[in-house]
Structure 1
Amino acid sequence: MLKPEIAVLDIQGQYRIHTELYRCDTAQNTIILVNGSMATTASFGQTLKNLHPHLNVVLYDQPYAGKSKPHNPHQKLLTREIEAQVLLELIEHFDANYLMSFSWGGTAALTALACAPRRIEKAVISSFSPLINSAMRDYLERGRHCLAACNRTQVGNLVNDTLGKHLPPLFKRFNFRHVSNLDEHEYAQMHFHINQVLSCEQQCFLSAAQGIEIPVLFINGEWDEYTAASDAQHFAQPIANSQFISLENTGHFLDMEHKSASHISKNALLSFLQPTQLSPHAVSL
């Protein structure tokens, strides 16, 4: 089992952030991973295995979530701009030169990348789209309703029946237990986040990405109807140096769904981030 270097960092005197650094003496580059909504560092377990020891890997919990939660007062809700500022500080602290986000972590990641952090050389945005299509709008509207009511069972079932529909049964059980046992302030934060997303039309997300000059890889699951691969292609215009991959036989949760998905996801990531370390035959997409 990998052992991280754990630190709780003070960000601008306002937030205390739980961080985990998985260091490898032979790795030359460091990647920081940005959680999706209602997720914690534990959600990146499979991604961590795929990236380490090729890279030093940094995981962290948002101030309101996971192991950061006990260190913060939860007196105000966080905008994506604040989450982006936290991310920018962590990039500097860990000298991270790669960034990867999952799902709604893409909002904070793209907002941070638009600030052109000097250290970041490449970024991966997974399971994210600038379009709120009909399937995603239905999910968000239903989510807003059961989060406002703090109906834990409904929230847990909603995530598993929609975004998590292709997860194996064991992961669905873990997912339900985690999502249905969050604190009320976490539900309030997610409710606030959904309201932000629903009030932000397509152009809002595309404008946020304007001017990003580094190479950005967008990865979406072939079966993901919520953040569809075809919708992600809209980022091609604002991000000139963008690439797009659709992972076959996978839904929203990509490398968590089955072994083959994990394998092709790993190859896609490493061939983009560390192409010189892979043989020409190592990539199978």
Structure 2
Amino acid sequence: MRPEIAVLDLQGQYRVYTEFYRAEAATKTIILVNGSLATTASFAQTVRNLHPQFNVVLFDQPYAGKSKPHNANERSLTKEEEGHILLELIDHFAAEQVMSFSWGGACALIALSQRPRTLERAVISSFSPIINVHMNDYLTRGIEYLGACERYKVGELINDTIGKHLPSLFKRFNYKHVSTLAEHEYAQMHFHVSEVLQSNLGGALEAATNINVPVLFMNGEWDEYTTPLDARLFGKHIPQSHFVTIQSAGHFLDMEHKAACRDSRQALIDFLSATPAEKRVRFHPRPAQDQHAIAI
């Protein structure tokens, strides 16, 4: 399963690395939006969950991953700018669907609020519209370590908090990745965390009120940082909102164990494949029966 690779010129100022996993029988295309400090590599399991039922597009933000060498990275990007980049990618690939993970949900909601012409459905995973006590502690410590560029402390913090339910192999990968990032990537994350702590994600709810497509919010039962209960606050702002809780899973959902992977995939396929007449259905995957680590 090899993707078609391209570096796209967007807005005349950003070069964005993309991977397009084409499936001949697929009729829909979905774009996956990374969380902070993540790259296209973090969606390896999700691609396997969605392809070949769907064409799948991955991309790196201009400051990250394989986009990084193609950009000057002289300043940090706002979530609004990331949202506009996503809008251009949706238009370029004529994508009908979007799925975001973690902090990628902020720019995804901004893009959705602009009502892109081709978009039909969206999935927002491991995201909520408020900063609860656990998330506030994580971000407060994170902004200190990011500001001082304390690489190893950032890696340890992620594994001890939002990543605590990951298999040990994934934790080692996370630690190696996060502790070897460029200084401008730490500055970018520091900028985003500062924005979030100042606004308490108020912009996410404001953007949500203009969304006119069905949106599935998917959260882990054990996720203390973006809880299923907090995510349900979006239901007051998005008329066609749907919610699913992945049993016995934390923040990283399909990466944590086989049952969470299975249930995440089932929830995605059920929602993304639903016809317009089924749009008010709420999806509830079966409770997890086992907790074996995914083989890598």
TM range (shorter): over 0.9
Alignment match, 2:57: 58
In 1, are the aligned partners of 2:246 and 2:285 still within 8 Å (CA)?
Answer: no
Separation of aligned partners in 2, 1:201 and 1:284: 33
Shift of 1:113: 0.3
- TM-score norm. by structure 2 comes to 0.93
Shift of 1:284: 3.5
Separation of aligned partners in 2, 1:187 and 1:61: 16
Separation of aligned partners in 1, 2:166 and 2:267: 20
* Residue segments in structure 1 that go unaligned for 5+ positions in a row: 277-281
Separation of aligned partners in 2, 1:81 and 1:275: 30
Aligned residues: 279
Output one character per residue of 1:141-197: Cα deviation in whole Å (capped at 9) or x when no partner: 000000011001100000000000000000000000000100000000000000011
Alignment match, 1:17: 16
Alignment match, 2:84: 85
Alignment match, 2:241: 242
Paired AA for residue 91 in structure 2: E
- Superposition pairs of residues 269-280 of structure 1, within 5 angstroms: 269-275=268-274
Alignment match, 1:38: 37
In 2, are the aligned partners of 1:271 and 1:283 still within 8 Å (CA)?
Answer: no
Output one character per residue of 1:103-143: Cα deviation in whole Å (capped at 9) or x when no partner: 00000000000001111100000000001000000000000
Shift of 1:202: 4.9
Separation of aligned partners in 2, 1:9 and 1:250: 36
Separation of aligned partners in 1, 2:105 and 2:150: 26
- Superposition pairs of residues 34-183 of structure 1, within 5 angstroms: 34-183=33-182
Separation of aligned partners in 2, 1:203 and 1:147: 23
Shift of 1:200: 1.2
In 2, are the aligned partners of 1:267 and 1:284 still within 8 Å (CA)?
Answer: no
Separation of aligned partners in 1, 2:125 and 2:38: 14
Separation of aligned partners in 1, 2:209 and 2:34: 22
Alignment match, 1:279: none
Separation of aligned partners in 1, 2:112 and 2:23: 25
**Secondary structure of 1:223 counterpart:** coil
Shift of 1:12: 0.9
- Superposition pairs of residues 191-270 of structure 1, within 5 angstroms: 191-270=190-269
Percent of pairs with identical residues: 61
Separation of aligned partners in 1, 2:181 and 2:119: 32
Output one character per residue of 1:216-270: Cα deviation in whole Å (capped at 9) or x when no partner: 0000000000000000000001101000001000000000001111100000000
In 1, are the aligned partners of 2:244 and 2:285 still within 8 Å (CA)?
Answer: no
**Secondary structure of 2:199 counterpart:** coil
In 1, are the aligned partners of 2:218 and 2:245 still within 8 Å (CA)?
Answer: yes
In 2, are the aligned partners of 1:98 and 1:121 still within 8 Å (CA)?
Answer: yes
**Secondary structure of 1:199 counterpart:** helix
* Residue segments in structure 2 that go unaligned for 5+ positions in a row: 276-283, 288-296
Alignment match, 1:284: 286
Shift of 1:208: 1.6
Quote the RMSD (CA, aligned, Å).
1.1
Shift of 1:41: 0.2
Shift of 1:54: 0.5
In 2, are the aligned partners of 1:29 and 1:55 still within 8 Å (CA)?
Answer: yes
Shift of 1:204: 3.0
